[in-house]
Amino acid sequence: MLSELGLRGLDVRSQVRFPIGYKGRTVGDYTAEMVVNERLIVELKCVDRFADEHMAQCINYLKASGLRFAILINFQLPKVKWRRIVYGF
């Protein structure tokens, strides 16, 4: 997917880290699968179905990154399933 998006002219970075802060200190980081054009987080899964934890993971990435949009994609089933997540307003 990373290669295909790049071939289509999109700026794609993989394994992008976002620091996690607590009381003004960095205490760890989140690592997003991909960030496209510095606007969209892409998280890939291979699971029977999406769980609340998958949505929470994307929301945490959005909070940490300051971005508003994420897409969660599941490749487990014959038909690819996806969910769009918008954070903030």
The reported pLDDT for the residue numbered 48 is: 94
pTM (predicted TM-score):
0.89
Please state, as a whole number, how many other Cβ atoms lie within 10 Å of the Cβ of residue 67. Answer: 18
The residue ranges of every structural domain in the chain are 2-86
The reported pLDDT for the residue numbered 1 is: 87
Distance separating alpha carbons of residues 36 and 63, to the nearest angstrom: 16
Please report, in tens digits, the pLDDT of each residue of the chain (89 residues total): 889 999 999 999 999 999 998 998 999 999 999 999 999 999 999 999 999 999 999 999 999 999 999 999 999 999 999 999 999 86
Helix (H) or strand (E) holding 57: helix 52-65
The reported pLDDT for the residue numbered 9 is: 93
Q: How is domain 2-86 classified at the architecture level of CATH?
A: Alpha-Beta Complex (3.90)
The reported pLDDT for the residue numbered 88 is: 84
And the tokens for 33?
């699968």
Which residue's structure tokens are 């998006």? 5
Burial of 78 (0-12, 13-18, 19+ CB in 10 A): exposed
